[in-house]
Structures are given as structure tokens and as C-alpha cells.
Chain A
Amino acid sequence: MLLVEQTRQGDMAAYEKLVKQYDRQVFRIANHIVQNREDAEDVVQDAFLKAYQKLDQFQGNSKFYTWLVRIAVNEALMRLRKRRTGRMVSIDEDVETEEGSMPRDLADWSPDPEAMYGQSEMGDILRKTIQGLPPGFRVVFVLRDVEGLSTEETAETLGLSIPAVKSRLLRARLQLRERLSRYFKRGQGRQAQAQVGAK
């Protein structure tokens, strides 16, 4: 809060510290939503500029970080909308799908699935898998499970109710688990490796 107060008083060095403190997280979240590096760079710039311009509106009831993330998520969704030539994109999109309510692929995984792939291959698998989720599930999973926000903070950031966050989180987790099973299930490593290699 001290850095926020110092920035309000015109101390740009204080704002630079805030940027350095949160830029990596904002970049990650933006990338997860827009799925395009150039757009994510623009989102980072716009989010920090908007936060600076609106700093007087920051009440201090929430953490600066969750307030900043809310701005970044809105910027990212707007960017996604522009890229899709005006089609509406919201965190409610595609969340009514029935997929993910009950696990189907119940094969157990290899004891150490991460050892089945190289670092780069694993990154490709994880990116490809999470990109397949609807935006409304993806953003909840990223904020809650990757960035470590609480359920309450995630709800506040996205303007959702707590039951809605819990419901989306469960379905996001189950959908990701199901999709990753094709790569990680016992005895399937070599076949899946060939699939990744062929892409």
C-alpha cells in the first residue's frame, strides 16, 4: 500500500516498483486469455497505464494486485473481442457445456508423467490443453490454481458469485484432467509422444 500511496503523490519510481512486482503475473494472465504474445504485450501496457490513471479510484478495500488483475482481465477480454472482429467475448462464454461434469477417461496416469516428456514438449502439451478450455473456465483456473488467488478474490476480480467460481473451477479442473489423460495415462507415453512430435 505504501507504493500505491507514494505513486499517488507523484513518485514514478514507486510505480516502477509496482510494475516490476506484478508484470510477470499480468503477462501470464494476459497470455492465457488472449493466447497471442503481441496482444498480451499490449494488454500489459494498457492495464498498467489504466491502473495508473485510475489510481484515485482504488479504494484499498482489496489488494492492489487483485484490483490490477481485474483491469488486466477486462483489457484482455476486450482485446480478444477485437480480434474476433466484434464478436462478443465474455467470461460467460461457453460455460453451459455439459463436458466435464463427470469424468469419463478413468485410466490411471503414469507414476511420473512429467518424466515422459522434455521441458519444451511438456510446455506445448500444457499450453495446447488449457487453450482448449472456454475462456470462462480458463480464466477461473488460471487465477485460482496457477496464480493462487483465493476463491473470494477470484470472484471479486471476475465479478462472479462464489458458487459460480467454484462450479467453473471444478469443471475446468476435470476437463483439463481428462484432456491431459491422453498424454499421461499409463503405457500411453510413446504413442502420445509421437503425436506431439508430429505437430
Chain B
Amino acid sequence: MTCTEFLAQLDDMLDQDAAIPLRADLQEHLRECEHCEITLNTTRKTIQIYRSHELYELPDDLRERLHNAILAKCRNC
């Protein structure tokens, strides 16, 4: 298996349940290729970091203001 072929499977590996064992040929490539192992692990970490950080929080005061504006517009439309 080449790195390009491995990369084509990357999304499936990232999206499947981590508990599901990788196919034998993917595992074998990972054992032999440090680059692909790093790519898999750091891409997985990239997704985890973005999932766990709230980058655009909606503060309570703004939330209330938006609710009031939305409902007023809906009532008048």
C-alpha cells in the first residue's frame, strides 16, 4: 500500500468508531510508515481540538437581544 492509497482511506479511518480494528493492510502500512501514522494521529487531534473549543460563544445578553428582535420581526411579518 502506498501513502496516497492510505490517505484515500483517511476519512473512513477517522470517521469510524475508534474501537473498530483497522483493516490488516492499513495496519501494516501504519506499522511501516511513520509519516502516515503521524498524519492520522494529528488529523484526529485537529478534529478533537476544534470540537472541544467553543470559538464563537453567544453571550446571554446578546442572545436575549436576538430573541427579542427575531420574535418581534416574526410577529410583524
Give me the interface of A with B, judged by CB distance under 8 Å: 12, 15-16, 19-20, 23-24, 27-28, 31-32, 37, 40-41, 44-45, 48-49, 52-53, 102-103, 106-109, 113-114, 122-123, 126-127, 130, 141, 145-146, 151, 166, 169-170, 173-174, 176-177, 180-181, 184
Give me the interface of B with A, judged by CB distance under 8 Å: 3-4, 7, 10-11, 14-15, 34-35, 38-39, 41-43, 45-47, 49-51, 53-56, 58, 62-63, 66-67, 69-71, 73-75, 77
Query: Given contacts A12-B74, A45-B66, is CB(A102)–CB(B55) below 8 Å?
Result: no
Query: Given contacts A40-B56, A102-B7, A174-B43, is CB(A126)–CB(B50) below 8 Å?
Result: yes
Neighbouring B residues of A102 by C-beta, 8 Å: 3-4, 7
Q: Which residue from A16, A45, A173 sits with its C-beta under 8 Å from B14?
A: A173
Neighbouring A residues of B42 by C-beta, 8 Å: 108-109, 177, 180-181, 184
Taking a contact as CB atoms under 8 Å apart, the answer to whether B43 and A173 are in contact is: yes
Report how far A146 CA is from B56 CA in the complex, Å: 12
Query: Given contacts A32-B56, A170-B11, is CB(A53)–CB(B39) below 8 Å?
Result: no
| CB-based nearest B residue for A175 | B46
A17 CB to nearest B CB, Å: 11
Taking a contact as CB atoms under 8 Å apart, the answer to whether B71 and A45 are in contact is: no
B13 CB to nearest A CB, Å: 11
Taking a contact as CB atoms under 8 Å apart, the answer to whether A145 and B53 are in contact is: no
| Inter-chain CB contacts under 8 Å: number | 111
Interface CB pairs A-B, < 8 A, 26: A16-B71, A23-B58, A23-B63, A24-B58, A24-B63, A27-B66, A44-B66, A44-B70, A45-B70, A49-B74, A102-B4, A106-B34, A108-B42, A126-B49, A126-B50, A126-B55, A145-B51, A151-B15, A173-B11, A173-B14, A174-B10, A174-B43, A176-B46, A177-B42, A177-B46, A180-B46
| CB-based nearest B residue for A145 | B47
Q: Which residue from A12, A170, A184 sits with its C-beta under 8 Å from B75?
A: A12
Taking a contact as CB atoms under 8 Å apart, the answer to whether B51 and A49 are in contact is: no
Taking a contact as CB atoms under 8 Å apart, the answer to whether B38 and A123 are in contact is: no
Taking a contact as CB atoms under 8 Å apart, the answer to whether A145 and B50 are in contact is: yes
Neighbouring B residues of A146 by C-beta, 8 Å: 50-51
B23 CB to nearest A CB, Å: 18
A131 CB to nearest B CB, Å: 10
B10 CB to nearest A CB, Å: 6
Neighbouring A residues of B58 by C-beta, 8 Å: 23-24, 27-28
Taking a contact as CB atoms under 8 Å apart, the answer to whether B55 and A23 are in contact is: no
